[in-house]
Amino acid sequence: MRGDQVELKSLRLDRKRVALRYGGRGGDADTVPPAIIPGAVSPTTVIYHGSVGAFAHIASQSAFPNSRSIGCDNLFDVVEAVRNGRADVAVLPCENILAGRVPDIHLLLPDVRLAIVGEIFLPIELHLVAPQGWRASEIRRVHSHPVALKQVRRFLATHGLSSVEENNTATAAALIKQRGDREAAAVASALAAETHGLTILKRNIADTPFNMTRFYVLSARSVVPAADRHDIMTSLLFEVKNAPGALFRAVGGFAENGINLTRLESYLLDGQFVATRFLCEFEGHPDHDRVNRALAVLERQTTRQTVLGVFPMHATGARVRARNRQSSHLDSLSGGRP
């Protein structure tokens, strides 16, 4: 990813949202959350997976500084809290530019029964943290969330350190403090280190300095922006027909209509090594004519479609995607030559 630190540190979340119909083609009607009143995405309570100092906590507070943020160590309890109204929205990480998708969230999406109503892009700085007085030369094991550990693989390999997976980065920091094992450290945020009275042994150890995680904002009900707004994302699930070339033809409508497909990931279904369900994200609103044409093509090649969310892009995400589109256009003009 190319970019500068000004863009990486832009964390403004545009909250001017109005409710329209929540569209979906195919699928069960009861899996699509009903639309709610305009402006409802100004939550009183935000729940996230982890504890104070986790990056989901930092993302929650950066996007919703006037809301109460509560942490929860159990991912399914986070989802249930939004379903039963104990929290207005959940903030969950979905992908990182170094580690790729967050597996737990990816597997959860088809059955979560929550609507994606926003996204947050958060710059990530991962630090090696341990109690005061410990030395980096003593460390043999590093504890953290599996996705965080993937972001520091080069550092771990270079220093001959083994990795130990924990529930989240902030929990890893707390456990290091509690256990007192001088051969163990955690990979966590500066806030987690401060919260648990740890010191930073090595700063910003991620495999690239431009590290960023994208988070979904999930609600029990959908909030769909007006179709005349710019910088809109649509996320949907679809299942292709069991026919040769079905996936190629299904997504061909996006290219034909000039729609930028930003994410396409598969699921294995029914215990078989055959991918028939796909998570798809693209730039555009379902009520746009060209998007409608693309979705009509998709519908002819699929047995089921379920819209997970139609939502405004985060300001940072909009700029990154615009820059990538421009870069791709220049590459196509040059024939891929440097």
Write the pLDDT tens digit of every residue in 158-178. 999 999 999 999 999 999 999
Let me know: does 243 contact 279? Beta carbons within 8 Å: no
- Cα–Cα distance for residue pair 186/206, rounded to 1 Å: 13
Torsion of CA 86, 93, 189, 8, to 10 degrees: -120
Length of the chain equals 338
What does pLDDT average to over the chain? 83
Average pLDDT of 6-33?
A: 31
Q: What pLDDT shows up at residue 30? A: 34
Let me know: does 280 contact 251? Beta carbons within 8 Å: yes
Let me know: does 192 contact 56? Beta carbons within 8 Å: no
Q: What pLDDT shows up at residue 279? A: 93
- Residues 317-326 as b or e (16 or more Cβ within 10 Å = b): bbbbbeeeee
Query: Which of 69-78, 119-128, 225-234 is least confident?
Result: 225-234
More confident of the two residues 209 and 171: 171
Average pLDDT of 246-256?
A: 92
Q: What pLDDT shows up at residue 302? A: 92
In which band, very low, low, confident or very high, does the pLDDT at 223 lie, cut at 50, 70 and 90?
Answer: confident
Average pLDDT of 41-63?
A: 93
Does position 334 have pLDDT exceeding 70, yes or no? no
Does position 137 have pLDDT exceeding 90, yes or no? yes
Element containing residue 329 per DSSP (H, E): helix 315-334
More confident of the two residues 37 and 325: 325
In which band, very low, low, confident or very high, does the pLDDT at 314 lie, cut at 50, 70 and 90?
Answer: confident
Q: What pLDDT shows up at residue 332? A: 47
The residue type of 271 is G
Q: What pLDDT shows up at residue 20? A: 25
Q: What pLDDT shows up at residue 82? A: 96
Torsion of CA 223, 116, 245, 100, to 10 degrees: 150
Give the pLDDT confidence of 285-298 residue by residue, as tens digits. 999 999 999 999 99
DSSP labels for 173-221? Answer: HHHHHHH--TTEEEEE-HHHHHHTTEEEEES--SSSSS-EEEEEEEESS
The CA–CA distances, whole Å, from 16 to 52, 211, 217, 229, 313 equal 28, 28, 15, 10, 12
Instruction: Indicate the pTM of the whole model.
Output: 0.81
